[in-house]
Amino acid sequence: MPEYSDYEIKVDYEPGRDDLANSLIALGKLVEGHKHVADLLLSASGEENGVTTSIEMQNIERGSIKVLFKKIFKGKDGANIQDDNLGKFIGGATKKLTKFVNENNELKGENFDGIRAQLVEAYNDAGCQNPLSIETINNGQIAQCLKSLEVPKGMLNEHQTVRATFLGQSYEMNKKFSVDESKIEREYITKETNCNTEISIQVKKPDYLGSSKWSVVYNERSVDAKISDEQWLNKFQNGEMSPEEFPSPQDTMTVLADITVEKKADKELNVELDIKKVLHVHKHVRTDAKLF
């Protein structure tokens, strides 16, 4: 029974017929791709262990060239660690991703939810302890995983096959599968919303007429905010607040808000705030004020 961390990738190769240099480059790119998949999956699952790949090159022989390699997990101190659950998760998730590659020629928007469910299933089957993390893997990360499993284009002859073997099963890789990189940049954007979260914001520019044009500072960046607390908003716009209650630029407000973060892969693109309730206004005190 193979270890969960053992992989074999084999490229069909016939001396005199196929290009050896391109075959070796394609093989190397596939090994790098599998390592990248492991890195992405570990990051998405909230695990902080590094992943290194130990490679054993098999002899070039008539019929094929192949690489046997292992996933080795390292802790923050650089020491090897043994984690059977992580090995099972990476192996099981890679198997499910490979199955998708072999059954499809492209990645479509409607595929993401199904793939995400498959990765959660692999995580739970492995006995890992933090399923909420892998459930939030975003579309960009999934697309990058599948992109990493592509058979390199233009390096192998039409008749050359590629086989991947792990978890006791062998798969012929679909050479036609491709992920459009421009779509990863353009389309695979996700939004995550945390509801009713208590936060502090600094007022930059209030909206004296409407509810959705407040400019505030949150986490050291300027964002737009909508105020849905109608009772508080009516008092503010009707001038029914005391000077201590009335928010002015540079004042800080403690609020309950829905925070929506838009991300492309792991990069945060935009933050939107929907303020459900204003809890308190903290007046700004000038530190350079002079006493006379």
Supply the pLDDT for residue 56: 72
> Could you please report the per-residue DSSP string of 50-67?
EEEEEEEEPPPBTEEEEE
Write down the residue that tokens 């600094």 correspond to.
Answer: 202
Supply the pLDDT for residue 3: 46
Region(s) of the chain under CATH 2.40.50: 189-282
End-to-end, the C-alpha distance of the chain in Å comes to 85
Please state, in angstroms and rounded to a whole number, the distance separating the CA atoms of residues 133 and 210.
38
Q: Tell me the CATH class for 189-282.
A: mainly beta
Supply the pLDDT for residue 288: 57
Pairing of strands 50-57, 63-74: antiparallel
3-state secondary structure of 114: helix
- Residues 6+ away with beta carbon under 8 Å from 7: 34, 68, 69, 70, 71, 94, 164, 165, 166
Model pTM score: 0.60
Supply the pLDDT for residue 210: 74
- Pick from 238, 213, 237: nearest CA to 226: 213
- Pick from 213, 210, 199, 203: nearest CA to 259: 199
DSSP annotation of 187 reads T
190 in Cβ contact with 140 (< 8 Å): yes
- Spell out a b/e string for 186-203, using b for 16 or more CB atoms within 10 Å of the CB, else e: eebbbeeeeeeeebebbb
Structure-block tokens of residue 131: 């399923």
| Phi, psi angle pair for 116, to nearest 5° | -60, -40
Supply the pLDDT for residue 103: 93
DSSP annotation of 276 reads E
Please state, in angstroms and rounded to a whole number, the distance separating the CA atoms of residues 169 and 187.
34
DSSP annotation of 111 reads G
Structure-block tokens of residue 213: 């044009």
Pairing of strands 267-282, 221-227: parallel
119 in Cβ contact with 112 (< 8 Å): no
Structure-block tokens of residue 245: 């209650």
70 DSSP β-pair partners: 6, 54
Task: Per residue of the chain (292 residues), give pLDDT as tens.
Answer: 344 457 888 999 988 889 999 999 999 899 888 888 888 887 777 665 666 767 776 666 678 888 887 777 766 566 666 667 777 888 888 889 999 999 999 988 888 889 989 998 988 888 876 655 677 777 878 888 999 999 998 899 989 999 988 777 888 899 999 988 776 655 556 677 888 899 999 999 998 887 668 999 998 888 989 999 999 999 998 989 999 999 999 999 999 999 988 776 556 778 889 999 999 999 988 665 554 4
How far CA 170 is from CA of 55, 95, 217, 271, in Å, comes to 19, 10, 54, 44
Supply the pLDDT for residue 204: 93
- Pick from 34, 65, 70: nearest CA to 162: 65
Supply the pLDDT for residue 256: 95
